[in-house]
């Protein structure tokens, strides 16, 4: 197959001939490689395009393809952060379907030695406008935590839209989190999701001032340090993340959720064993889309080759910044597009019809950036699928 195709320009004003680069696939970490960072990929779900549903109102999942994708991530040495916003949680995927997803993923993980999995626990079955008090929020958290722990799952305590709506002060956040953390069976990962990902979470931790919000989050962690494995912050602000991780209790991890600056944050403050060095572990949606590069880079870092770590990840950063560009909440379209062109699912449809959330020009530019970063795994498949998408939009060779 020819590796030439016609792509819209970045601004969509013209059609340009593009030739895919011929380059060797990224050599991923061999099975069993031990990383010196914990790395979770927040994994997407594969929709069932044949289901007779109203796609904006209901969710139908292709369970076999969805679990196969998680098995791929585990085979690369990555953990799975299940039922998060990358899986369209609260953005097309409801709590009942999320719990079924968690159950199936936990079952699959039991067959994979060393598989790491943590699952999102939130309050999304409680409509924000139905929450009248923080007690309603506490009960909602308790219900989801109990359901996941009954399955044997570890918890990621997700930010709550309902709490953001009813809380009147930082003290309300402290009350809710103190209550739910005391009940957790094992240490949890907290999740601070910025309003660029979800506008309903503006002012989380009781303040629009990020410094004050951080103080409240740190107070919650310090009061419950034995119940907190770490916190993932998704603010796309590396300086805030570095400031917060330096203030965390010694045994509490920072899991970067910064899809713009992940490479330098994972590498850390210094080299080797400097006394005050801190680094971020990872819980990233972009690791779904760049999984082979993430695996190879983490293996290099574990082997002490920081130069190779950065050499592998540096070309992926423009890919990530493009996928997560504003409106950031539509980043999942790029993640699923990458899975489709690389042959990991048979179609480009999404829960909630969100394959339409990005323009053809945006996807064409993502195709170019992915090629430049060495993220096209099977060029013939990628070109064939991109041509079908172009034809659907009236563009042909």
Q: Which pLDDT tens digit goes with each residue over 150-161?
A: 999 999 999 999
pLDDT 10s digits, 317-355: 999 999 999 999 999 999 999 999 999 999 999 999 999
Domain C-terminal end among 314, 347, 363: 314
Is the predicted pLDDT of residue 180 greater than 60, yes or no?
yes
| Average pLDDT of the segment spanning 268-283 | 73
For the chain, give the mean pLDDT: 94
Give Cα separations from 36 to 12, 232, 259, 311 (angstroms). Answer: 43, 18, 20, 18
Task: Record the tokens describing residue 118, joined without a space.
Answer: 């943590």
| 3-class secondary structure, 293 | helix
Confidence of residue 192 (pLDDT cuts 50, 70, 90): very high
pLDDT for the residue numbered 397: 58
| CATH number of the structural domain spanning residue 147 | 3.20.20.70
pLDDT 10s digits, 105-137: 999 999 999 999 999 999 999 999 999 999 999
Same domain, 211 and 222: yes
Is the predicted pLDDT of residue 281 greater than 50, yes or no?
yes
pLDDT for the residue numbered 237: 96
Same domain, 132 and 227: yes
Distance of CA 397 to the CA centre of its chain: 35
Is the predicted pLDDT of residue 290 greater than 50, yes or no?
yes
pLDDT 10s digits, 193-240: 999 999 999 999 999 999 999 999 999 999 999 999 999 999 999 999
pTM for this model (two decimals): 0.95
| 3-class secondary structure, 50 | coil
| Average pLDDT of the segment spanning 283-308 | 97
Is residue 4 situated within a structural domain? yes
Confidence of residue 275 (pLDDT cuts 50, 70, 90): very low
pLDDT for the residue numbered 173: 98
- Owning domain of residue 362: 1-25+333-397
pLDDT for the residue numbered 396: 83
Is residue 211 situated within a structural domain? yes
Same domain, 234 and 132: yes
Distance of CA 387 to the CA centre of its chain: 28
pLDDT for the residue numbered 272: 45
Same domain, 121 and 261: yes
Distance in angstroms (rounded) separating the CA atoms of residues 100 and 62 = 12
Confidence of residue 31 (pLDDT cuts 50, 70, 90): confident
Q: How many domains does the chain have?
A: 2
pLDDT for the residue numbered 123: 98
Is the predicted pLDDT of residue 314 greater than 80, yes or no?
yes
End-to-end CA distance of the chain: 13
Sign of CA dihedral 321, 323, 327, 329: negative
Is residue 80 situated within a structural domain? yes
| 3-class secondary structure, 105 | helix
pLDDT for the residue numbered 52: 93
| Average pLDDT of the segment spanning 74-86 | 97
Q: Which residue has the tokens 């951080």?
A: 214
pLDDT for the residue numbered 23: 76
Q: With CA atoms as reference, report the closest residue to 120 among 163, 165, 151.
A: 151
């Amino acid at each position: 197959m020819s590796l030439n195709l016609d792509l819209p320009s970045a601004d969509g004003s013209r059609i340009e001939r593009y030739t895919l680069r011929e380059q060797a696939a990224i050599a991923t970490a061999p099975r069993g490689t031990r990383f010196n960072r914990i790395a979770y990929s927040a994994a997407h779900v594969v929709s069932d395009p044949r289901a007779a549903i109203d796609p904006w109102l209901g969710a139908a999942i292709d369970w076999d393809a969805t679990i196969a994708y998680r098995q791929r991530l585990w085979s690369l040495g990555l953990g799975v952060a299940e039922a998060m916003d990358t899986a369209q949680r609260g953005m097309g995927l409801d709590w009942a379907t999320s719990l079924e997803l968690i159950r199936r993923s936990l079952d699959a993980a039991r067959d994979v030695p060393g598989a790491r999995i943590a699952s999102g626990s939130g309050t999304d079955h409680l409509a924000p406008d139905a929450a009248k008090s923080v007690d309603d929020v506490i009960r909602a958290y308790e219900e989801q935590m109990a359901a996941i722990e009954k399955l044997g799952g570890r918890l990621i305590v997700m930010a709550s839209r309902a709490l953001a709506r009813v809380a009147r002060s930082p003290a309300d956040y402290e009350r809710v989190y103190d209550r739910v953390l005391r009940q957790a069976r094992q240490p949890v990962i907290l999740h601070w999701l910025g309003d660029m990902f979800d506008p309903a979470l503006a002012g989380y931790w009781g303040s629009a001032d990020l410094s004050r919000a951080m103080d409240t989050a740190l107070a919650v962690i310090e009061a419950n340090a034995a119940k907190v494995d770490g916190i993932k912050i998704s603010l796309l602000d590396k300086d805030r993340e570095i400031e917060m991780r330096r203030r965390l209790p010694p045994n509490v991890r920072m899991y970067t959720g910064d899809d713009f600056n992940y490479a330098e944050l994972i590498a850390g403050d210094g080299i080797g064993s400097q006394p005050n060095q801190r680094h971020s572990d990872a819980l990233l949606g972009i690791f779904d889309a760049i999984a082979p590069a993430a695996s190879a880079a983490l293996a290099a870092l574990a082997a002490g080759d920081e130069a190779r770590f950065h050499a592998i990840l540096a070309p992926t950063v423009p890919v990530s910044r493009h996928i997560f560009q504003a409106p950031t909440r539509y980043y999942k379209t790029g993640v699923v597009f990458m899975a489709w062109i690389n042959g990991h699912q048979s179609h480009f449809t999404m829960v909630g019809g969100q394959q339409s959330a990005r323009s053809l020009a945006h996807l064409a530019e993502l195709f170019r950036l992915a090629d430049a970063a060495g993220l096209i795994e099977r060029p013939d498949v990628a070109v064939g699928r991109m041509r079908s998408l172009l034809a659907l939009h009236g563009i042909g060779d």
